[in-house]
Amino acid sequence: MPEVTPTPGNGGKSTENRLVLTRPDDWHVHLRDEEMLTSVLPDTARRFARGMIMPNLDPPVHTLAEACAYRNRILAAAQSKGLSFEPLMTLYLTDHTTPEEIRRAKKSGFVYAVGEVFLTGATTNSAFGITGFARCEPVFSAMEETRLPLLLHGEVTDPEVDLFDRERLFIEQYLTPIVERFPGLKIVLEHITTREAVEFVCGAPDTVAATITAHHLLLNRNAMFVGGLSPHHYCLPVLKREHHRQALLAAAISGNSKFFLGSDSAPHPRPAKESACSCAGIYTAHAAIELYAEAFDEVMALDRLEAFASFHGPDFYGLPRNSDTITLEKRSWVVPEEMHLEKATIVPLRAGGTVAWRLVE
């Protein structure tokens, strides 16, 4: 069990079948753009007050001007649906990002991090990612100076490395030296998947935190092979062995403020997921907080969900906690087999199956 750092809070108000939580935030979400953005944004905005918006569009959002334009498109999409939602923007780190761009981003007031940072080839739309970390040191110095956090997709991309070892080796080869070289740099290891990642974050300085997804709390790697190959359970980092899932769950319910909610909800059109080279990503925004409630409920830890979902993230980023609430009801519902958008179809997690908790609108 990870070391526990208790977080002040009431744990959410609950009865046997209802749970009232301070409205949570999603600290790692992919909204895409254009028609996809307009279609998927309501799922996130109904559940979360704020979202840390990942910048790996095609082409990616790597300048302040591009982040401003993308933010305006998100706000316009929310307004068109009558939704209140605050996008927290990020910049995509490339080999050409400059310290001056980092300082401008910090001064903007709407860019909250740099990331999700990829080594080239790590995941969807990562072709523009960095080719190595050594050349990024001037940028890391500027981020340390301005207190702009670094969000890392923690996988090496060496084709000789076993897929299931990529996170562990990233921590050993890259993350440990970065933490030692830049002790004041705030770092979030995104969507962690292994016991080694949990142990590293627990033992790291307070400047290091991690997000955990609902699908990594609920599924192990067997899910990719149920009924044959299941492309809709394919994500990066990939699902891992059961003992890693148990370590993630222990971290999430521990009360340790270094761990918080980041859904990594990633919509892809059905043909892209079911192609010979399947896109990596699982769409969970349709039931994001409900799936977390299910994971916590299964280990009788619902009283720990509010801190994980609503307090730890804003506390780490130095932002105020939300003042309004959401209500969940323990009443199962059937997830649609498909979500039909104007120009695409998405297969969500649990398609055709049930989720045990429901958001009370």
Rounded CA gap, 2 and 117, in Å? 26
Please indicate if the annotation marks 216 as binding a ligand: no
Please indicate if the annotation marks 229 as binding a ligand: no
Please indicate if the annotation marks 256 as binding a ligand: no
Q: At a CB cut-off of 8 Å and minimum separation 6, what does 300 contact? A: none
Omega within 30 of 0 (cis) for the link into 337: no
- Reported as type and span, the H/E element at residue 306 is helix 305-306
Please indicate if the annotation marks 166 as binding a ligand: no
Q: Which of 33, 43, 264, 324 is catalytic?
A: 264
Assess whether 264 carries a catalytic annotation: yes
**Residue/partner pairs of 110-113 with CB below 8 Å, 24 or more apart:** 110/67, 110/68, 110/71, 111/64, 111/67, 111/148, 112/52, 112/88, 112/148, 112/149, 112/317, 113/52, 113/88, 113/148, 113/149, 113/150, 113/151, 113/188, 113/317
Among 119, 96, 51, which Cα is nearest to 262's?
A: 51
- Parallel, antiparallel or unpaired: strands 345-346 and 354-355: unpaired
Among 202, 193, 185, which Cα is nearest to 5's?
A: 202
Q: Which amino acid is at 62?
A: H
Please indicate if the annotation marks 62 as binding a ligand: no
Rounded CA gap, 201 and 197, in Å? 6
Please indicate if the annotation marks 103 as binding a ligand: no
Please indicate if the annotation marks 236 as binding a ligand: yes
Omega within 30 of 0 (cis) for the link into 59: yes
Please indicate if the annotation marks 153 as binding a ligand: yes
Q: At a CB cut-off of 8 Å and minimum separation 6, what does 17 contact? A: 329, 330, 331
Q: Which residues participate in the annotated binding site for Zn(2+)?
A: 28, 30, 153, 191, 264
Q: Which residues participate in the annotated binding site?
A: 28, 30-32, 56, 153, 191, 236, 264, 268, 280
* Residues with catalytic roles: 264
Q: Which residues participate in the annotated binding site for substrate?
A: 30-32, 56, 153, 236, 268, 280
